[in-house]
Structure 1
Amino acid sequence: MADDELVAAISFGLTYLYFKFKQKNSEVKRRKRRRWWMIKIHKNRTRKFMDEKFCELLHEPSGEFHNFCRMSFADFEYLLDKISPLISKQDTDFRDAIPAKYRLAITLRFIATGDSYKSLHYLFKVSTQLISKIVKEVCKAINEVLRNEIKMPPTADAWMTIERGYRRKFPHCLGSIDGKHILIESPPHSGTEYFNYKKTFSIVLLALVDANYKFIFADIGCQGRISDGGVFNNSLLWQKISKTEIDFPSACPLPGSEINVPYVFIGDGAFALSMHVMKPYPGQHNVGSPKRIFNQCLSRARVVVENTFGVLTSIFRIYRRPIDLDPSTVSEITMTCVLIHNFLRKSSPERYTPPGTFDVIDSSGTLITPGSWRNHESEYSAIQNMSNVPRRSPLQAKQIREEFTSYFCRSI
């Protein structure tokens, strides 16, 4: 009897092992096998090949490196030194890892041109799958090391430094605010979540800009279907304004007046008028009327943010067409472009934005000399203006705007 039980146990065990082996073998068969370990055009992607490519760009006398990466080699080296520990990979027995400088160059070239991963694949001899991973990793690393390039002033004295830049155009102005739709391809299974009023799909970039054409606040990623007022009301900036968490300078009279006026941000008609946000008077007004004068002065100061967006799209041409990536990835890339913009405005302003880049506006708000960034405008851009929807304003905010209007009328 014991022998029969032993035979039955052995038979059961062998049957179990057979079926487990068969199940594992079928899973291996279902797994897609590689057609090639490395295609032929990648086989000469050696360290020597990559170093030679950099040397050719660097020693080209016509400044091809700057055009290729949208920054000087010195800025490239500085950025590379910061992010190398975050993006460097180890070599393996099968292949050498792609160097950090090559990874950075791939990412900068992608945001500079907006070329598809397939196009970059032929240029850099790197697979499209790996390029997609490299772009995400490098953008995340850049956002980490440059995160302090964008920050709101922590003190009233720091806000006054920004106000001095605007003072000649619009006193008591702490920044120009605007929002733009960044066009994307319709995300799968998203329905109308990203469908905006212009019948395109987008996420929103809401930004506050100082007089030096630098971002001091950026909120990126809100769905395009949300109205402009909703985007601003859901932003961290409005929350800080509502909760009085921003250390605004103390209200004081404008020149020639005795009425205390608070310090404000300026925007277009898309924003609601409030104690700390000024917008133009709605409608058409006669030439020389007080409302027309106020609108002209506000427009002359607010053109700063329009120029900043214009430079961003002319340098980083990924925004020339709808971006066919996941919205979260588009948000990450957009933040990278904003941070690099601020970094280059500080480190190499004359090279990044040479004289003539920005618009020249006269005292009436009329465009005299268009900035050179307009030469690169395309009819179809992946950054579009937000809608302009009038809304009822509180009485106190209207009184503040009237005080600004009286000041500009006295200044003529």
Structure 2
Amino acid sequence: MAAVELSLEERVSLLYLLWRAEQRGKRRPCLHHLLQELRLDDGRFQRYHRLSLGQFEDLLSRVGPRVARLDTNYRRSIPPAERLSICLRFLATGDSFRTIVFSFRVGVSTVSQIIPQVATAIWDCLVDDFMAVPSPGDWQSIAEEFQERWHFPLCCGALDGKHVQTKAPPNSGSMFHNYKGTFSIVLLAVVDARYRFRVIDVGGYGRTSDGGILANSTFCQALQAGTLHLPPDQPLPGGEHRGAQPHVFVADEAFPLRRELMRPFPGHLLPLEKRIFNYRLSRARMIVEGAFGVLSSQWRMYRHSMELRPEIAEKCVKATCVLHNFLRCLDERGAPAVRSVAPAVVEPLQSLGRVAANNSSREAVLVREKFMAHFSAEGAVTWQPKE
């Protein structure tokens, strides 16, 4: 059989195709060497991924089956460990996709697909164990911890919102433009006495106030309808003569005063009793500020304006919140207690609205006055007048 004569261009093309086929059949040397080197030093591994080696392996065992892909006749799939490493590196740094590309030797389109896929898998695989909707017993335990640690009785959580900077979507106008002059989505969170997120709502428009975000949330609807299953009303410690009081959430002045939602008294020249109440409430409310601080320090994507579409940014925010609980639970207990209940995230509604902070019911005003009187009498602490 006569040999076929190939031109120079055809020979170069053939050699290139053979080289590509060979490379596709090989393992990814960059990741292989990178992870192997990091595994030798747990400190460097933790600085790179924000998780220790043991925590990484635990997380990989949970999300690995969800993010694994099948090999084909043309190429081997990217291993689950590499997919998880890519996502964690982005959450830990907020680097651009091109920086991630240079580190892992993959394409930009590959990274843009892996990050939302893995972030979604992290949320789906961890939410039932680490951010489940609190039961009545859980709410009671949270209230007892707030009383023990922060001297605020009948408190089921601290509530606040955080603006997460992102780029404005095309044709969105001022929808995501906030009062700080940037574009953002809003993370609304309820935090317990141990700095853990118990309920989150992600995706509110940046232009909407915290009160408006609360009004548009399913959490607020459940709070108004009484379907959060909060514990029954109880007397304040040592204040049985004041009658049974509701369990409440504490928030700042951006939120409305309601029967189950306490906010500080407005103004500066206040009587001593009101100043004491504001101080005690602020002391408990700062827990949510601390949780946001730990979150943004651990996952530094919050320190940059994310070049992501809002729906992708929401997935990343939810992933970091449940990872925050994952790390805190492992540090505190060594192993989590597994419960199969509904997720605690609440999806934001599409309608917008504002809440007038001064439109409070008479019942809410009376509840706040009972707490104020309690803090200045039987609930007083020895060091509060100095503050």
* TM bucket, shorter chain: 0.7 to 0.9
Number of positions where the alignment pairs a residue of Structure 1 with one of Structure 2 = 338
TM value normalised by structure 1: 0.77
Equivalent residue letter for 1:112? A
Alignment of 1:161 with 2:141, yes or no, is: yes
The answer on whether the counterparts of 1:203 and 1:220 sit within 8 Å (CA) in structure 2 is: yes
Shift of residue 152 of structure 1?
2.5
Shift of residue 52 of structure 1?
2.1
Q: What do you get for the CA RMSD once the two structures are aligned?
A: 2.4
The answer on whether the counterparts of 1:285 and 1:291 sit within 8 Å (CA) in structure 2 is: no
The answer on whether the counterparts of 1:269 and 1:389 sit within 8 Å (CA) in structure 2 is: no
TM value normalised by structure 2: 0.82
Which residue, out of 320, 325, 336, partners 1:337? 320
1:9-408 pair list within 5 angstroms: 46-60=27-41, 63-148=43-128, 149-155=130-136, 157-168=137-148, 169-257=151-239, 258=241, 259-286=243-270, 289-349=272-332, 390-408=357-375
Q: % of aligned pairs identical?
A: 38
Compared CA separation, residues 407 and 296, structure 1 to 2 (3 A): same
Task: Mark the runs of 5 or more structure 1 residues left unpaired by the alignment.
Answer: 1-35, 352-386
The answer on whether the counterparts of 1:206 and 1:220 sit within 8 Å (CA) in structure 2 is: yes
Q: Compare 92-101 and 331-340 and name the one that shifted more.
A: 92-101
Shift of residue 349 of structure 1?
4.7
CA distance in 1, matches of 2:87, 2:110: 12
Shift of residue 59 of structure 1?
0.3
The SS at the match of 1:335 is helix
CA distance in 1, matches of 2:23, 2:205: 43
Shift of residue 49 of structure 1?
4.0
Q: 1:76-116 deviations in whole A, cap 9, x for unaligned?
A: 11111111221111222332211110010010000000010
Compared CA separation, residues 56 and 248, structure 1 to 2 (3 A): same
CA distance in 2, matches of 1:240, 1:230: 16
CA distance in 1, matches of 2:179, 2:154: 33
CA distance in 2, matches of 1:276, 1:223: 25
Compared CA separation, residues 39 and 239, structure 1 to 2 (3 A): farther
The SS at the match of 2:203 is strand
Larger radius of gyration: 1
The SS at the match of 2:268 is coil
CA distance in 1, matches of 2:193, 2:204: 26
Q: 1:202-250 deviations in whole A, cap 9, x for unaligned?
A: 1110000000110110000011122222210111111111111122222
CA distance in 2, matches of 1:350, 1:237: 28
Equivalent residue letter for 1:310? G
Give the corresponding residue for 1:13: none
Give the corresponding residue for 1:380: none
The answer on whether the counterparts of 2:212 and 2:355 sit within 8 Å (CA) in structure 1 is: no
Task: Mark the runs of 5 or more structure 2 residues left unpaired by the alignment.
Answer: 1-15, 335-353, 382-387
CA distance in 2, matches of 1:330, 1:38: 40
